[in-house]
Every structure is written in C-alpha cells, then in structure tokens.
Structure 1
C-alpha cells in the first residue's frame, strides 16, 4: 500500500480506510510540521494544528475534488487549522487576562503577517487570483518554498511556477493599486 499515490490514499480514506490515513499521515506529517513551525513559534499550536489537520482529512477526504496535488489540499487545511487555533488561543488568552489569572498570548511578527494575509487587503487581492496563481503565491511567498519545491508540491514544472508567479504579481499590483 506504500506505493499508492496520495490521490489513491485520499480516495481510500474517503471510504473509511484507517490504514490509508496512517500512510498519508506518515508521508506528510514531517513537512507539514516544518512548514507550520516556520509560521508559528508555539509548538503546542503547531501540534494542535497538525492533529486537527489529519482529523479534518479523515472527515473530509470525500470533499477533495481530485484537481491539484493532495499535498496542497492538505496544506490548505493545515494553515486554516493553525489560524483557527491561534484565534481560539487569543480569545481565551484575553478572557483569562481579564480575570488576571495568566498573561496574554505573545504573537510573533510572522503570525501577525499570516493573519493579515488571511484577513486584510491582501486577502481580498489573493482571492481574486485564479486558484492556480494563488497556489503558486502561497507556496513561494507565504510558505517560502523555492520554485523547484513549489513545482514538486503543486505537480507542475518549475518554469510554470515562474510564469504563474509573474502573472500573479501583475494581477496583485493591479488589485492593490
């Protein structure tokens, strides 16, 4: 079963195959944890987001539409889960601070940027991009991957990554002007 593609494994997970989920987890947990750690310095937040991600994969594997790479789909879940964990902890941290029982949660500069990308003007501009262009921007700019790594993740040639990034820059400049 280890030679099966991620797409095959996701289809099996959608059918309730726990072994397929275990293999998918083993394939992706290390890079997923590393990428999330680049965005959040709190290991507990990263751990919770990783766990929530694979629970969401288990529950929502049937929602993957078969386009793009499964790894990119999993990453999309992971970053949204991490932001949800951060929002929940901030909310809880503020409530506790009002009761004067614990200090507030410390936010890193990168966490502030990620939140801004998800909810600021840039979020609106990113949503105007086609899914193909948005995926390249997310992989190269937000995730810090090289064009080669982004191409591997997205299943496209390196030259296509560069071309899509150039097109995305032009469209983002127009949307943010």
Structure 2
C-alpha cells in the first residue's frame, strides 16, 4: 500500500489546496514542502531582510491554512501557485508598510 505522502506527492498544487481547505494537515505539509523554497527565493529577491522574509513566509502559510476554502482556482483562470504568490506579495507590502510606519524620522 502506498503511503499518504507518496499519494500526495502525485497531486497538483490546486488539489492540495482543496485538501487543505478540508483541514488536511498532510496536504498542507506537502504544499509547504513543494512551494516554500521558491516562495522564499522570490521574497528574498524583493527583500534583503531575512527577518521580514521569515515573517512573511509564516504569515503567508498561516493565511493559506485559514483561507484555503476561498481559493477559486481554475474556475476563475487562476492557479494555486499564483494564489500563494498573491498572498505572499500582499503580506510583503504590508510588512514594508509596517516598517515604514515604525521607522523613526532621522
């Protein structure tokens, strides 16, 4: 019998998000394992501060866990990875705004 991990490995990201929406932790772990490396690279290209990148990664995947049911996917011409990146990019902008708001004037 195949392991759950092997079965999840064969699913595309959209199907994984659908399973995450049902509370499937193994699907979430597989989605994270599969997407977090490129997500971190993309964020680092836009932000040199590793602390901000780590915070944005955490906020992004927390949002994915909480809002996976809102993913519309192919029904609206979107992809799971595009949805993930949209969440991450918005969280990064929020982080930049927070940093600018808390920065003290010279």
- Coarse TM-score class (shorter-chain normalised): 0.7 to 0.9
The one of 9, 23, 27 aligned to 1:20: 27
State the distance in 1 between where 2:99 and 2:45 align.
19
Offset, 1:41: 1.1
| Partner of residue 137, structure 1 | none
Question: Aligned-residue CA RMSD in angstroms?
Answer: 1.3
Which blocks of at least 5 consecutive residues in structure 1 are unaligned?
98-103, 105-177
Q: TM-score, normalised by structure 1?
A: 0.52
Is 1:84 the counterpart of 2:94 in the alignment?
yes
State the distance in 2 between where 1:66 and 1:79 align.
18
Larger radius of gyration, structure 1 or 2? 1
Which blocks of at least 5 consecutive residues in structure 2 are unaligned?
1-7
Tell me which stretches of 4 or more aligned residues in structure 1 moved more than 6 Å. none
State the distance in 2 between where 1:77 and 1:4 align.
21
Q: Superposed, which structure 2 residues align to 1:1-177 within 5 Å?
A: 1-67=8-74, 68-94=78-104
| Partner of residue 3, structure 2 | none
State the distance in 2 between where 1:28 and 1:5 align.
11
SS of 1:4's equivalent in the other structure is coil
Listed one character per residue, the Cα deviations across residues 19-54 of structure 1 (whole Å, up to 9, x for unaligned) are 111110010101001011111111111111111110
Paired residues, number:
96
Listed one character per residue, the Cα deviations across residues 2-29 of structure 1 (whole Å, up to 9, x for unaligned) are 1111111111100111111111001010
Q: TM-score, normalised by structure 2?
A: 0.84
